[in-house]
Amino acid sequence: MPPDLGIPNSDSALGGSGTAPAEPWANPLETALWCAAQGWPVHPLAPGRKTPAPNCADCRDRPHPAQECPCIPAGHWCHGFHAATTDPSVLTAWWRRQPRFGVGVSCGPAGLVVIDVDAHPAPLPTPDRLLPGIHIPDSVCLDGLRHGFHSLAVLAALRGRPDPAQDGTTLRVRTPSGGLHVWYTTRPGQEWRCSTGSGASRALAWQVDIRSHGGYIIAPGTRTVSGRYTALDGARRPAPLPGWLGAELERTGHRPVPPGPRGGSPTPVPSRARAAVVAARGGRDSAARALATVLAAVTECAAVPQGAGFTEKLNRAAFTAGGLVGAGRMAADAAEAALMAAATHARPGQERRCLAIIRSGMGAGSRRPLDLGERR
Ligand SMILES: [Zn+2]
Ligand SMILES: [Zn+2]
């Protein structure tokens, strides 16, 4: 008999829709101060947006590592989560300047790991990408599986554990797009890396992202143009990460990168990045060559940790890939995988940022199908 995976529908999955008790986050400044009081470093988000408040002109026009930025010690918010602080006087000054800033929490230094469940209806991925590393027996019926709530529920069911999306013992925040952030604390000394569940690198489950070191999460109470991040009934503070989820994160490669030398010598392009370039071939060598050329510019940034124009090169590569996809010369999935492999090789630990650049670049490029100047 096929196991009952109890795939919930996304509405009932979140528990009652009753009115929540009074929240400690009445306005953005109070939210920021409340987060800081939990020991969570906070940084501002552009009003109404999910993205960090913009850098100053210097930091925008002359890219440099956050570690070398004079703005941050001077109390400016440049470099997104790198500027996050728990200092109430700095936070008060920031939100006095712009009361409509949203609130971002820098997950890693806060000792947080957040399970970010998406609810975007999308075609099912191939079975190996649904729960990477887990063989789903044919006897398991996946009918009705449509988004991240389902893939996470299937993972929990296969492990015989409660569904984290239903975990009322921890802080859960409903996102404006119908997704859910399940907040957990890490143990002292325990670190996790970010991932995107639909990306090409490590992933816990399809449409389930992990936010931790190298990423930030939007605080409850924050409002964007799409709506409000609203805490669900239940706990208002994160509970410790359940042991079984920790084991799953470990299994899926979310352990931290061991501190290692990142010297100036060129590192070889890993086979995964090369394989992705090959996989990106849509059967037409001119398309593969066009992509390989721009991808090479991205991977070469690995040798230059700063000032390499990485963002611009990745954006250009994504735009080119989008153009090839738009022209029907390449599959979007394969192109995205190739771009992510090249990007994570050049800038490990920045998957989230890279994926955003890739998606926006590919989106723009796909509206301008690339004519490679040959007869078809
Ligand atoms: Zn600056
Ligand atoms: Zn700077």
pLDDT of residue 274: 56
pLDDT of residue 122: 82
Exposed (0-12), middle (13-18) or buried (19+): which is 331, by Cβ within 10 Å?
Answer: middle
Ligand 2 centroid–CA 247 distance in Å is 37
Q: In this structure, is the dihedral angle defined by the CA atoms of residues 333, 338, 118 and 240, taken in order, positive or negative?
A: positive
Q: How far apart are the C-alpha atoms of 268 and 214, rounded to whole Å?
A: 24
In the chain (376 residues long), the average pLDDT of successive 10-residue segments reads 42 42 79 96 97 96 92 95 96 97 96 95 83 84 87 94 97 97 92 82 91 95 96 94 96 74 41 53 61 78 72 82 84 84 82 83 81 55
Residue 80 in tokens: 């997104």
Closest-approaching ligand to the CA atom of 64: 2
List, as one string, the DSSP characters of 214-225. Answer: T-EEEPTT-EET
Closest-approaching ligand to the CA atom of 62: 2
- Crossing angle between the packed helical segments 332-346 and 271-279, to the nearest 10 degrees: 160
Ligand 1 centroid–CA 313 distance in Å is 22
Closest-approaching ligand to the CA atom of 68: 2
pLDDT of residue 17: 41
**CA-based nearest residue to 167, from 177, 178, 175, 156:** 156
Residue 213 to residues 219, 244, 254, 255, Cα–Cα distance (Å): 16, 20, 10, 10
Q: How far apart are the C-alpha atoms of 79 and 59, rounded to whole Å?
A: 8
pLDDT of residue 70: 94
